[in-house]
A and B are shown apart, each in its own frame.
Chain A
Amino acid sequence: MLLLGQGLLGCGSWSWSRRSAGPAGLLGQTNREDPALSGNGRVLASLVERDGRPTVLLHEQPSGRELPLPQLRRLQPHRSPSLSWNGRYLALLVQQGSRQLAVIQDRATGQLHRLPLPGDQDPERLSLAPDGRRLALEVVRQGRSRVELLDLAPLLEPDLPATPVSGGGRLP
Chain B
Amino acid sequence: MRGLSPIAAGSRRHRHQLVTAAIGRLSLLLAASATLLLGGCLGPMPQPLLGLNSRLEAIGSSRAPALAGRWLALIGGRDGREQVQLIDLERQLPVPLPGLNRPDAQPLAVAVDGAGEKLALVRQLEGRTELVLYRRSLMALEPIAMQPAGVPRRLSLRADGRELAVEVSRGGVWQVDLIQVP
A interface residues (Cβ-Cβ under 8 A, vs B): 5-6, 9, 11-21, 23, 28-41, 44, 46, 61, 82, 85, 113, 115-116, 124-131, 134-138, 144-152, 154-155
Is the beta-carbon distance between B67 and A127 smaller than 8 angstroms?
yes
- Contact partner, B63, options A5, A38, A113, A138, Cβ 8 Å: A138
Residues of A within 8 Å of B143, CB to CB, are: 11-12
Per the 8 Å Cβ criterion, residues 163-182 of B in contact with A are: 163, 165-167, 173-182
Choice from B65, B76, B142 contacting A136 with Cβ under 8 Å: B65
CB closest residue in chain B, given A12:
B142
Additional A-B contact list (10), CB under 8 Å, known A136-B72, A154-B47: A12-B142, A18-B178, A20-B178, A28-B173, A38-B158, A39-B160, A136-B74, A146-B62, A150-B49, A154-B44
Main secondary structure of the interface of B (DSSP, over half): strand
B142 touches A35 (CB 8 A): no
B70 to chain A, nearest CB (A): 9
Whether a CB of chain A sits under 8 angstroms from the CB of B86 is no
User: In the assembled complex, which residues on chain B have CB atoms less than 8 Å from the CB atom of A13?
Assistant: 142
Question: A30: which B residues are within 8 A, CB to CB?
Answer: 173
Given known pairs A129-B67, A134-B49, A149-B49, the reply for A16 and B176 (CB within 8 Å) is: no
* Chain B interface residue count, Cβ-Cβ cutoff 8 angstroms: 53
Give the nearest-CB partner of A35 in chain B: B165
> B85: shortest Cβ distance to chain A, in Å?
10
Tell me the complex Cα distance, A127–B155, Å. Answer: 12
B46-81: CB near A (< 8 Å → 1, else 0) gives 111100110011000111111111001010100000
B67 touches A32 (CB 8 A): no
Known: A15-B182, A130-B114, A155-B46. A21 touches B62 (CB 8 A): no
Q: Which residues of A contact B61 (CB under 8 A)?
A: 144-146
B64 touches A138 (CB 8 A): yes
- Of the A-B pairs whose beta carbons lie under 8 Å apart in the complex, a sample of 5, sorted by A's number, is A14-B182, A18-B179, A35-B166, A146-B62, A151-B49
- Let me know if A147 and B176 touch, CB within 8 A: no
Query: What are the 7 tightest A-B residue pairs by CB atom distance, in nearest-first order?
Result: A39-B159, A136-B65, A35-B165, A21-B176, A154-B44, A17-B180, A130-B159
A134 to B48, alpha carbons, bound, how many Å? 10
Taken together as a complex, chains A and B put the C-alpha atoms of A20 and B133 apart, in Å, by 19
**Least Cβ distance of B7 to chain A in Å?**
57
* B156 proximal to A (CB < 8 A): yes
Establish whether residues B180 and A85, one from each chain, have CB atoms under 8 Å apart when the complex forms: no
The answer to whether A151 touches B156 (Cβ under 8 A) is no
* Residue ID in chain B nearest A29 by CB atoms: B173
CB pair B177–A21 under 8 Å, yes or no, is: yes
Q: Which residues of B contact A154 (CB under 8 A)?
A: 44-47
- Central interface residue in B62, B174, B181, by most chain A CB within 10 Å: B174
Shortest beta-carbon distance, B147 to chain A, in Å? Answer: 6
Verify A40–B158 contact, CB threshold 8 A: yes
Evaluate contact between A36 and B165: CB separation under 8 angstroms.
yes
Given contacts A35-B165, A35-B166, A149-B72, contact A20 B156 (CB under 8 A): no
**Residue among B74, B114, B158, B175 making CB contact with A20, cutoff 8 Å:** B175
